[in-house]
């Protein structure tokens, strides 16, 4: 079973896998590329919304995906930063990429440059049209995307170049827009092809000091990509104008059309090719995500239980080793889940495996700790009685100590499983699917229904997991230890909270 799942995750060589970042334009382009490659009769799969630039690039280099849409500015400033390339020097860039086994396509036509933007009415009131004018308005609040805050050509150098004095709040790109609309922030970073620009809500501030490099859209693919697939992707060369891209973004983000349909329409408009819009029904998606989510939770919990109970026993037996074990699994718990997932990528690639491993690591602490506490909490008189009977150490553990610790152990597993269900929504960030896929897509598209499509089943699953463990308590906890009758049970109730 486990082997099957792991191999489903590693994929087969024949199938082309096109990745996308977790923003609409990337999803539409990848969807369009996928449709066109499929049109050529190849097996192809779109691995949607895998996360940010780092994740996609690592996945491409590692061979977890074969191609994804990228921007020249990002390639020069982020991916090949060590080479100090000029974003306009395609020859040098191609050569540096080739050294890493990666091919860059011809530019698709449009550029999606970073820019700063303000609400049109606000900007008009203050008379701001250029970024340099922001210096005179230190009172403005900035809501910037995390990626923009981090990137070398983003906030750190922008603020220096323009001498801006502000403490920006970091948030999700799509959320920053909403902060702007709601008035909680006045300035955000945006992309020059953003849908909101099309409907006139936003003013793009002129980059008068020419800080941002050019972000021409291109495909990156692995040198070992099937030539037929590469040829299909190359067909987009020079065909997608800024206007077409803004239009497509707007249809997806503002009109709420399915990305597959938008992408099919884009392909038809720019290439004159009819491709099928493959998009699953809501029920299908929920079903798929449930399978992915349950799989992640079940397998990581199974592995965690198999490892954590022996660790808990060891921790109870040897106090000093126990302190080390608990400290270690405790430290894992403090690593932010996103960071842990990103750590996993260079080691394990993207998809199921790293997600399951991360969830496994998170599930250890509650189970190890409760097992250890359940065992050390056993009354000395009971230990002594078991010893006096002449049982072997193993028999004592198996027949006396573990049964006495079951309430604590099950409480620990319950805690781990509930945390696990919640954390597994982040699996979508590294291509493991699950309910997080809908939640992320919904946030990106400002589409409540899609968010609920992930959030509601996730909540239901959390409740169901609680229910299952309550049943397990009934089945597994010996009668004499149950609260109602076992008033004399001397195993202390161990709280399960993390």
Which residues of the chain form contacts with other proteins (CB under 8 A)? Answer: 381-382, 384-392, 395, 399-400, 403-404, 406, 478-481, 485-491
CB of 348 to other proteins, least distance (A): 41
CB of 382 to other proteins, least distance (A): 6
> Of the two residues 5 and 489, which places its CB atom closer to other proteins in the complex?
489
Neighbours of 321 (CB within 10 A): 12
CB of 417 to other proteins, least distance (A): 23
- Integer CA distances (angstroms), 259 to 30, 107, 157, 253, 254, in order: 10, 22, 34, 9, 12
CB of 15 to other proteins, least distance (A): 53
- Integer CA distances (angstroms), 252 to 245, 305, 439, 453, in order: 11, 43, 16, 18
Closest C-alpha among 111, 118, 116, 109 to residue 74: 111
CB of 485 to other proteins, least distance (A): 6
Q: Which tokens is 165 given? A: 């004095």
**Letter string b/e over residues 384-408, b meaning 16 or more CB atoms within 10 A of that residue's CB:** eebeeeeeeeeeebeebbbbbbbbb
Cα–Cα distance measured from residue 184 to residue 140, given in angstroms and rounded to the nearest whole number = 10
Cα–Cα distance measured from residue 195 to residue 192, given in angstroms and rounded to the nearest whole number = 9
> Of the two residues 235 and 383, which places its CB atom closer to other proteins in the complex?
383
CB of 411 to other proteins, least distance (A): 16
> Of the two residues 169 and 382, which places its CB atom closer to other proteins in the complex?
382
CB of 389 to other proteins, least distance (A): 5
Cα–Cα distance measured from residue 441 to residue 35, given in angstroms and rounded to the nearest whole number = 20
Alpha helices (H) along 40-192: 53-62, 72-74, 90-99, 120-126, 146-150, 155-162, 173-182
> Of the two residues 272 and 390, which places its CB atom closer to other proteins in the complex?
390
> Of the two residues 267 and 404, which places its CB atom closer to other proteins in the complex?
404
> Of the two residues 246 and 477, which places its CB atom closer to other proteins in the complex?
477
Q: Are strands 169-171 and 217-222 parallel, antiparallel or unpaired?
A: unpaired
CB of 495 to other proteins, least distance (A): 20
- Integer CA distances (angstroms), 46 to 64, 68, 479, in order: 12, 10, 52
> Of the two residues 346 and 480, which places its CB atom closer to other proteins in the complex?
480
Give Rg (Cα) of the chain: 27
> Of the two residues 98 and 389, which places its CB atom closer to other proteins in the complex?
389
């Amino acid at each position: 079973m486990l082997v099957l799942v792991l191999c489903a995750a590693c994929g087969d060589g024949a199938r082309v896998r096109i990745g996308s970042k977790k923003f609409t334009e990337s999803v539409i382009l990848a969807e369009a590329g996928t449709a066109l490659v499929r049109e050529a009769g190849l097996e192809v799969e779109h691995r949607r919304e895998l996360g940010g630039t780092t994740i996609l690039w690592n996945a491409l280099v590692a061979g977890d995906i074969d191609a994804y849409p990228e921007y020249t500015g990002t390639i020069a400033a982020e991916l090949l930063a060590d080479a100090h390339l000029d974003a306009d020097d395609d020859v040098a860039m191609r050569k540096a990429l080739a050294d890493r086994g990666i091919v860059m396509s011809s530019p698709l036509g449009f550029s999606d440059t970073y820019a700063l933007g303000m609400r049109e009415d606000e900007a008009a009131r203050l008379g701001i049209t250029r970024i340099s004018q922001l210096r005179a308005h230190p009172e403005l609040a900035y809501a910037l995307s995390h990626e923009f805050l981090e990137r070398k050509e983003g906030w750190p150098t922008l603020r220096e170049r323009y001498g801006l004095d502000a403490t920006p709040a970091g948030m999700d790109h799509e959320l920053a827009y909403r902060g702007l609309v709601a008035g909680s922030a006045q300035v955000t970073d945006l992309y020059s092809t953003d849908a909101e620009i099309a409907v006139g809500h936003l003013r793009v501030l002129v980059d008068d000091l020419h800080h941002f490099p050019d972000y021409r859209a291109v495909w990156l693919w692995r040198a070992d990509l099937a030539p037929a697939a590469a040829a299909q992707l190359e067909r987009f060369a020079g065909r997608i104008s800024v206007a077409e891209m803004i239009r497509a973004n707007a249809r997806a983000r503002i009109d709420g059309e399915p990305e597959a349909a938008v992408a099919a329409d884009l392909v038809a408009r720019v290439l004159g090719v009819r491709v099928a819009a493959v998009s699953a029904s809501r029920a299908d998606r929920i079903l798929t995500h449930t399978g992915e989510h349950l799989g992640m939770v079940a397998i990581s919990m199974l592995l965690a239980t198999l490892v954590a109970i022996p660790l808990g026993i060891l921790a109870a037996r040897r106090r000093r080793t126990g302190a080390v074990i608990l400290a270690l699994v405790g430290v894992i718990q403090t690593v932010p889940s996103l960071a842990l997932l990103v750590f996993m990528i260079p080691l394990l690639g993207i998809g199921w495996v790293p997600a399951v491993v991360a969830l496994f690591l998170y599930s250890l602490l509650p189970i190890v700790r409760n097992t250890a506490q359940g065992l050390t909490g056993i009354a000395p008189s009971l230990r002594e009685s078991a010893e006096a009977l002449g049982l072997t150490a193993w028999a004592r553990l198996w027949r006396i100590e573990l049964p006495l610790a079951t309430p604590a152990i099950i409480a620990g597993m319950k805690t781990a499983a509930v945390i696990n269900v919640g954390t597994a929504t982040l699996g979508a960030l590294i291509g493991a699917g699950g309910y997080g896929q809908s939640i992320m897509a919904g946030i990106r598209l400002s589409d409540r229904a899609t968010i609920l499509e992930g959030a509601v089943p996730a909540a239901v699953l959390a409740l169901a997991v609680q229910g299952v463990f309550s049943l397990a308590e009934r089945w597994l906890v010996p009668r004499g230890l149950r609260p109602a009758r076992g008033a004399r049970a001397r195993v202390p109730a161990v709280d399960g909270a993390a």
